[in-house]
Structure 1
Amino acid sequence: MKIVIAPDSFKGSMTSKAAAEAIRRGIHRINPSYKTVLIPMADGGEGTVDAMMTIMNGETRTVQARDPLGRQISATFGWVPETKTAVIETAAASGLTLLNESELNPGVTSTFGTGELVKSVLDLGVEHIILGLGGSATIDGGTGFLQALGIRFFNKKGQELEAGGSMLGELDSIDSTNLDQRLKAVKWTVASDVTNPLLGNEGAVTVFGPQKGVIEEKLADFERGMEHFAEKVVEHTGVDCRLDQGSGAAGGLGYSLLSFFHPVIKSGLSIIATESSLEYHLKDAALVLTGEGKIDAQSLYGKVPVGIGRLASKYEVPVAVFAGKIEGDLEQIYAEGIQLLLPVVSQPMSLSEAMTNGSVLLEEAASRLMRTYELFTGMGNKPV
């Protein structure tokens, strides 16, 4: 029996590669003869570099960059020298996991560090940048990213504005004369499974703002600031990408990328699926196991397990999803080709304990699933 193992990362606990290996260990504890195919996945967020470097035979490099609050940190990107291709995660320098809950401050958090990573790969002579947009701690419209690459923003008094979501409503003019000229020769691919537009009820502020620290009373203020910023960008570039799919990704960074660099946007899942021949492996699979840290209503906005479910349904392959946390109305999730949602945790424990022991818990959960599978299929008494 062939089982495809294609999880996303469990953010803050395991990379997608580590999660896939844990699931395989759990399966082989029950029956080591099952054939397993490991395809670590990512949606453009945390784990994208690891997943892509695994299938592209690339290397990881670490440089200094600023975190969302401007502090110096070490951040990693992927590099494939043969093709001069770089894979960068917004999460690496601008991610939620870099901040604790008390530090969430969307008024000042910035994507500047992600722009610094782009400058680092420009120094390597990069020709193709694959930029993953998931997991950011920012709603700055990508202003920090653009500032790191040479664009400047001014208020009505001619004062240069600092990065952060609070500055968007003060913007009066944009100066892109110092934009790094090396960017003209770069091919851009944006990896994002978030299809939200920039503005409105499905936009960057309304849908993703609360998890980044925007309190309900301030949502309207941030939305007005984002609307104003968008209008100024349209005036400056002559391009209107406000309604484009993915413009709301990474707190509006998707919008700035579309407006200034005109990238090709693909789902992170589709990029990895193509590179790893995922569909080829699904065609004769008996079961697909995937997962991520949290499953909720937002998972419908293009997260990996839902994408896997939709793809597997083409071949009528059943899909089981492991999750660190499951909440909300999940009926729509089950309508997307997913047959089973399984919590990783089997008993009460703290979040920190669960994340610390994530690999062991996932392995045990995979074993429990396979015992149940064999019970109902009789596979435990049959050759595989």
Structure 2
Amino acid sequence: MNPMRVVVAPDSFKGSLSAAQVAACIADGVRAARPDAVVTSLPMADGGEGTLDALLAAWGAEAQVIDTVDAIGRPRRARWAISPDGRTGVVELAEASGLPHVADVTPQPLHASTRGTGAVARAVLDAGVAEVLVCLGGSASTDGGAGILTGLGVRLLDDDGAEVPDGGEGLARVSSLDLAGLHPRAREVRWRLAVDVTNPLVGEHGAAHVFGHQKGAGEGDAEYLDAALVRWAGVLERATGVRTHDLPGAGAAGGVPSGLVALLGAETEQGALLVAEAIGLPAALADADLVFTGEGSFDSQSVRGKVADGVARLAAASPARPPVVVIAGQVLLPAAQTREAGIAAAFSIAPGPIDLNELLGRTSTRLTDLAAQITSLRAVPAPR
């Protein structure tokens, strides 16, 4: 009789534990209940913050570091990575252009940019990779990816031929593009953009109106930025023939996909599925008996492109079709909707009414205990 095979593929519990730490706690619980279990831990991410760490952990690789700037131009060091086979370079936008790095100053929604991420992308291209994976999420800017392109050598010009400033303010004045200085390998590699939203670039559901307030944009700022993004999309369309105004996912990370899709032929993909492919999750699920995933809050957004959704989809498509169980800080999705999403069950680590700070302090213990209890419910698997 073969040992029980368990795959552990959670997201992080933001503000508490990293995805790798969550996976380790759950794995400890599985082994406590079934010492003979074969546990495969594959920490996950949805393409946003934490994706770089998830990939580094899965690959057993170490990050590279580069001197760059943050979203408002201050010096910053940012990490990036190369896959073990040397083919894929990984850029996590939040490393250089993330919102937490500018939380110490008054928000600058019209001026913040992704130029620092462009410097990281340049370093990745210089390393000779065949494809670049850009992990979007946690952005401090709404610049349509213009900063990344600027970092790669593109010049954004106004009606008089002068370069426009960084950020949304510059997009409001841009009239044309000078591509003469574009990095020579920028159009030779494959660009893949990990996104976890389907919002278009502009309009009431676009980058500025939906996500701008998170970056300090008031109502007037959001209107200004939306108009700037419309102008930017028009410039891109005239230059490339590619329309990005209503492209699903183009509103991610302040509209970054618009510039990269139009000028570099980038492809947007569901972040969780892209990460899963990169770390080998589909192969691990092929003979699994049970799958654990998890995140801080399991709710309606969790089954719309987040990690739990990606794991459930891949499990359903695998030969073994193993049941997927979610362990979360809080569970807000009803059981019927959980099952509709292809998830067998979802459990909260909260033992009952409890103070949030106390729960955060007990997250590791509760994850391990709950994983052990759930594992104990599984019948001994039939011989293969």
Q: TM-score range by the shorter chain?
A: 0.7 to 0.9
1:319 equivalent in structure 2:
324
CA-CA distance at 1:112 after TM superposition: 1.0
Shift of 1:372: 5.4
* Distance (Å, rounded) in 2 between the aligned partners of 1:362 and 1:166: 45
Q: Is this contact kept in 1: 2:315–2:321, CA < 8 A?
A: yes
Matched, 1:44 2:47: yes
Whether 1:282 aligns to 2:295 is no
Moved more, 153-162 or 68-77: 153-162
- Whether the 8 Å CA contact 2:22–2:367 is kept in 1: the answer is no
Q: CA contact under 8 A between 1:296 and 1:330: conserved in structure 2?
A: no
The aligned amino acid for 1:349 is L
Counterpart of 1:180? 183
Alignment-derived partner of residue 167 in structure 1: 170
Could you tell me how far apart the structure 2 residues matched to 1:378 and 1:270 are? 27
Rounded to whole Å, the distance in 1 between the matches of 2:98 and 2:379 is 43
Shift of 1:78: 0.6
RMSD: 3.1
* 1:273–1:307 CA distance, 2 compared to 1 (3 A): same
Residue in 1 aligned with 2:243?
240
Partner in structure 2 of residue 273 of structure 1: 276
Q: Is the 8 A contact 1:68 1:113 kept in 2?
A: yes
TM-score w.r.t. the length of structure 2 is 0.84
CA–CA distance in structure 1, aligned partners of residues 12 and 79 of structure 2:
16
Counterpart residue number, 1:206: 209
Distance 2:333 2:378 in 1: 33
Say if 1:173 and 1:78 are closer, same or farther in 2 by CA, change over 3 A.
same
CA, structure 1 residues 157+276, in 2 after alignment: closer, same or farther (shift >3 Å)?
closer
**1:95 deviation in Å?**
1.8
- CA pair 158-37 structure 1, distance change in 2 beyond 3 A: same
The answer to whether structure 1 residue 148 and structure 2 residue 151 are counterparts is yes
Gap regions ≥5 residues in structure 1: none
Determine which of 364, 367, 383 is the counterpart of 2:369: 367
Contact preservation (8 Å) 1:5, 1:38: yes
Give the Cα separation in 1 of the matches to 2:369 and 2:254: 38
Q: State whether structure 2 residue 125 is matched by structure 1 residue 117.
A: no
Structure 2 residue identity aligned to 1:208? F
Partner of 1:8: 11
Aligned-pair identity (%)? 36
Partners of 2:180 and 2:338 in 1: CA distance: 47
- Structure 2 vs 1, CA of residues 136 and 340 (structure 1 numbering), >3 Å: closer, same or farther? farther
2:83/2:89 contact within 8 Å kept: yes
> For the structure 1 residues 240 and 290, does the alpha-carbon distance in structure 2 shift closer, same or farther, using more than 3 Å as the test?
same
**Rounded Cα–Cα distance in structure 1 between residues aligned with 2:347 and 2:8:** 15
Classify the secondary structure of the residue corresponding to 1:170: coil
Q: Which moved more, 1:182-191 or 1:70-79?
A: 182-191
Q: Would the alpha carbon gap of residues 370 and 209 (structure 1) be closer, same or farther in structure 2, given more than 3 Å must change?
A: farther
Aligned-partner Cα distance in 1 for 2:177–2:282:
45
- Greater Cα offset, 114-123 or 322-331: 322-331
| Distance of aligned partners of 1:284 and 1:79 in 2 relative to their CA distance in 1, 3 Å threshold | closer
Q: Residue by residue, what CA displacement relative to the aligned partner does 1:347-380 show, whole Å, maximum 9, x if unpaired?
A: 3134xx876x5xx614423413432563xx3869
Deviations 1:160-187 (A, max 9, x none): 3221223322323332222222323323
Q: Deviations over 1:264-301 (max 9, x none)?
A: 33333333333444234334433321123444444344
Secondary structure of the 1:166 match is: helix
Task: Report the Cα offset of residue 223 of structure 1.
Answer: 1.9
Distance 1:183 1:308, change over 3 A: same
1:65 equivalent in alignment to 2:68: yes
Out of 127, 131, 134, the residue aligned to residue 131 of structure 1 is 134
Contact 2:349 2:370 in 1 (8 A): no
Distance across 2 between alignment mates of 1:305 and 1:18:
17
CA distance in 2, matches of 1:331, 1:101: 43
Contact 2:47 2:275 in 1 (8 A): no
On the 8 A contact 2:10/2:293 being kept in 1, the answer is yes
The residue identity in structure 2 corresponding to 1:317 is P
Cα distance in 2 for residues equivalent to 1:142 and 1:368 = 42
Distance 2:222 2:299 in 1: 21
Whether 1:222 aligns to 2:208 is no
Q: Aligned letter for 2:116? A: G
Give the structure 2 partner of residue 348 of structure 1.
355
Matches within 5 A, 1:300-319: 300-314=303-317, 316-319=321-324
Q: Is the 8 A contact 1:56 1:80 kept in 2?
A: yes
When residues 175 and 276 of structure 1 are mapped into structure 2, their CA distance, relative to the original with a 3 A threshold, is closer
Inter-partner Cα distance in structure 2 for 1:330 and 1:215:
38
Structure 1 residues 312 and 123, CA, compared in 2 at 3 Å: closer, same or farther? closer
Report the alpha carbon displacement of residue 12 of structure 1 after superposing the two structures with TM. 5.1
